[in-house]
Amino acid sequence: MFAVLFGVIFLLERHNSKEYLGRAIVVDGDSILLNGKQFRLSGIDAPELDQPCKLGGKDWSCGRASKRALSKRLQNQNISCVSSSVDKYDRHLAVCGTNNGEVNSWMVSNGWAVDYGGYGREEAIAREKRVGIWQGEFGIPEKWRRLKTDRSSDFN
Protein backbone atom coordinates (compact mmCIF):
# COMPACT_ATOMS: atom_id res chain seq x y z
CA MET A 1 0.00 0.00 0.00
CA PHE A 2 2.72 2.49 1.02
CA ALA A 3 4.80 1.66 -2.06
CA VAL A 4 1.85 2.49 -4.31
CA LEU A 5 1.18 5.73 -2.39
CA PHE A 6 4.82 6.82 -2.62
CA GLY A 7 4.84 5.97 -6.33
CA VAL A 8 1.79 8.16 -6.92
CA ILE A 9 3.31 11.02 -4.90
CA PHE A 10 6.58 10.71 -6.86
CA LEU A 11 4.72 10.86 -10.19
CA LEU A 12 2.66 13.85 -9.05
CA GLU A 13 5.76 15.70 -7.91
CA ARG A 14 7.51 14.99 -11.21
CA HIS A 15 4.39 16.06 -13.09
CA ASN A 16 4.05 19.30 -11.10
CA SER A 17 7.72 20.26 -11.21
CA LYS A 18 9.00 22.74 -13.68
CA GLU A 19 12.53 23.42 -14.86
CA TYR A 20 13.89 26.94 -15.22
CA LEU A 21 17.07 27.75 -17.13
CA GLY A 22 19.22 30.85 -17.41
CA ARG A 23 21.73 33.08 -15.65
CA ALA A 24 21.04 33.74 -12.00
CA ILE A 25 21.37 36.89 -9.94
CA VAL A 26 22.41 35.98 -6.40
CA VAL A 27 20.32 37.60 -3.65
CA ASP A 28 21.98 35.87 -0.69
CA GLY A 29 23.50 32.50 0.18
CA ASP A 30 20.30 30.55 -0.46
CA SER A 31 18.23 32.79 -2.75
CA ILE A 32 18.53 33.75 -6.41
CA LEU A 33 16.60 35.52 -9.13
CA LEU A 34 16.22 33.62 -12.38
CA ASN A 35 14.31 34.96 -15.36
CA GLY A 36 12.54 37.47 -13.12
CA LYS A 37 11.39 34.83 -10.63
CA GLN A 38 12.55 34.39 -7.04
CA PHE A 39 14.04 31.03 -6.04
CA ARG A 40 14.97 29.64 -2.63
CA LEU A 41 17.50 26.79 -2.71
CA SER A 42 15.55 24.04 -1.00
CA GLY A 43 16.98 21.95 1.80
CA ILE A 44 19.59 24.52 2.83
CA ASP A 45 19.71 27.61 5.03
CA ALA A 46 22.47 30.19 4.68
CA PRO A 47 23.34 32.98 7.13
CA GLU A 48 21.46 36.23 6.59
CA LEU A 49 23.34 39.07 4.89
CA ASP A 50 23.52 41.06 8.13
CA GLN A 51 24.24 38.05 10.33
CA PRO A 52 27.58 38.32 12.13
CA CYS A 53 29.74 35.34 12.99
CA LYS A 54 32.95 35.06 14.98
CA LEU A 55 36.29 34.10 13.50
CA GLY A 56 39.38 34.26 15.66
CA GLY A 57 37.40 36.17 18.27
CA LYS A 58 36.41 38.90 15.80
CA ASP A 59 33.12 39.56 14.02
CA TRP A 60 32.98 38.78 10.34
CA SER A 61 30.11 39.00 7.88
CA CYS A 62 29.45 35.33 7.24
CA GLY A 63 26.17 36.11 5.46
CA ARG A 64 27.95 38.27 2.91
CA ALA A 65 30.70 35.65 2.60
CA SER A 66 28.04 33.03 1.84
CA LYS A 67 26.55 35.25 -0.87
CA ARG A 68 30.02 35.82 -2.39
CA ALA A 69 30.67 32.06 -2.44
CA LEU A 70 27.40 31.40 -4.28
CA SER A 71 28.07 34.28 -6.70
CA LYS A 72 31.51 32.91 -7.48
CA ARG A 73 30.09 29.39 -7.94
CA LEU A 74 27.49 30.61 -10.45
CA GLN A 75 29.65 33.22 -12.18
CA ASN A 76 29.25 33.18 -15.98
CA GLN A 77 27.33 29.90 -15.95
CA ASN A 78 23.86 28.88 -16.94
CA ILE A 79 21.87 27.35 -14.12
CA SER A 80 19.03 24.87 -14.14
CA CYS A 81 16.51 24.94 -11.29
CA VAL A 82 13.75 22.38 -10.78
CA SER A 83 10.87 23.51 -8.62
CA SER A 84 7.62 21.82 -7.64
CA SER A 85 6.36 24.29 -5.02
CA VAL A 86 6.54 27.83 -3.68
CA ASP A 87 7.08 29.02 -0.11
CA LYS A 88 5.01 31.51 1.91
CA TYR A 89 7.04 34.36 0.35
CA ASP A 90 6.06 33.16 -3.16
CA ARG A 91 9.61 31.98 -3.93
CA HIS A 92 10.08 28.81 -5.95
CA LEU A 93 11.65 26.10 -3.78
CA ALA A 94 14.21 24.49 -6.03
CA VAL A 95 17.18 22.25 -6.45
CA CYS A 96 19.57 24.00 -8.81
CA GLY A 97 22.64 22.93 -10.70
CA THR A 98 25.25 23.90 -13.24
CA ASN A 99 27.63 21.84 -15.36
CA ASN A 100 29.75 21.65 -12.19
CA GLY A 101 27.03 19.83 -10.22
CA GLU A 102 24.24 20.54 -7.76
CA VAL A 103 24.47 23.97 -6.16
CA ASN A 104 22.42 23.25 -3.02
CA SER A 105 24.71 20.38 -2.04
CA TRP A 106 27.83 22.41 -2.86
CA MET A 107 26.79 25.28 -0.58
CA VAL A 108 26.36 22.92 2.39
CA SER A 109 29.42 20.74 1.76
CA ASN A 110 31.61 23.85 1.44
CA GLY A 111 30.25 25.28 4.66
CA TRP A 112 28.33 28.27 3.29
CA ALA A 113 24.92 26.96 4.37
CA VAL A 114 23.54 24.48 6.87
CA ASP A 115 21.33 21.48 6.26
CA TYR A 116 17.65 22.38 6.25
CA GLY A 117 16.42 18.98 5.12
CA GLY A 118 18.31 16.45 3.05
CA TYR A 119 21.94 17.57 3.24
CA GLY A 120 23.02 16.17 6.61
CA ARG A 121 25.94 14.22 5.14
CA GLU A 122 27.25 17.32 3.38
CA GLU A 123 26.96 19.34 6.59
CA ALA A 124 28.91 16.69 8.51
CA ILE A 125 31.71 16.92 5.92
CA ALA A 126 31.85 20.73 6.17
CA ARG A 127 31.79 20.63 9.96
CA GLU A 128 34.59 18.06 10.07
CA LYS A 129 36.74 20.04 7.60
CA ARG A 130 35.92 23.32 9.42
CA VAL A 131 35.23 25.17 6.16
CA GLY A 132 33.03 28.20 5.48
CA ILE A 133 31.01 29.21 8.51
CA TRP A 134 32.24 26.10 10.38
CA GLN A 135 35.72 27.64 10.66
CA GLY A 136 34.41 29.92 13.41
CA GLU A 137 31.36 30.45 15.59
CA PHE A 138 27.90 31.26 14.26
CA GLY A 139 24.24 31.05 15.10
CA ILE A 140 22.05 28.67 13.13
CA PRO A 141 20.38 31.03 10.62
CA GLU A 142 16.81 30.04 11.51
CA LYS A 143 17.45 30.65 15.23
CA TRP A 144 19.32 33.90 14.50
CA ARG A 145 16.33 35.21 12.47
CA ARG A 146 13.96 34.26 15.29
CA LEU A 147 16.09 36.06 17.91
CA LYS A 148 16.37 39.13 15.70
CA THR A 149 12.58 39.19 15.22
CA ASP A 150 11.97 38.73 18.96
CA ARG A 151 14.35 41.59 19.79
CA SER A 152 12.79 43.96 17.26
CA SER A 153 9.31 43.23 18.65
CA ASP A 154 10.58 44.37 22.09
CA PHE A 155 10.74 47.90 20.70
CA ASN A 156 7.21 47.90 19.22
DSSP assigned state of 116: S
Alpha-carbon span 97 to 87, nearest angstrom: 20
Query: What would the pLDDT profile of 37-79 be if each residue is shown by its tens digit?
Result: 999 999 999 999 999 999 999 999 999 999 999 999 999 999 9
Q: Is the pLDDT of residue 2 over 70?
A: no
Q: Does domain 17-145 have CATH number 2.40.50.90?
A: yes
Burial of 51 (C-beta count, 10 Å sphere; 0-12/13-18/19+):
buried
φ, ψ (nearest 5 deg) of residue 103: -80, -45
What is the mean pLDDT of the segment spanning 88-92? 93
Residue 45, classed as helix, strand or coil, is: strand
pTM beyond 0.75, yes or no? yes
pLDDT band at residue 14 using 50, 70 and 90 as cut-offs: low
Q: Report how far apart, in Å, the C-alpha atoms of 153 and of each of 24, 88, 148, 149 are.
A: 34, 21, 9, 6
pLDDT of residue 15: 57
pLDDT tens sequence across 92-151: 999 999 999 999 999 999 999 999 999 999 999 999 999 999 999 999 988 888 887 766
Whether the predicted pLDDT of 12 surpasses 70: no
The domain spans of the chain are 17-145
For residues 9 and 28, which has the higher predicted lDDT (pLDDT)? 28
Per-residue pLDDT, 19: 95
Residue 3: what pLDDT?
Answer: 42
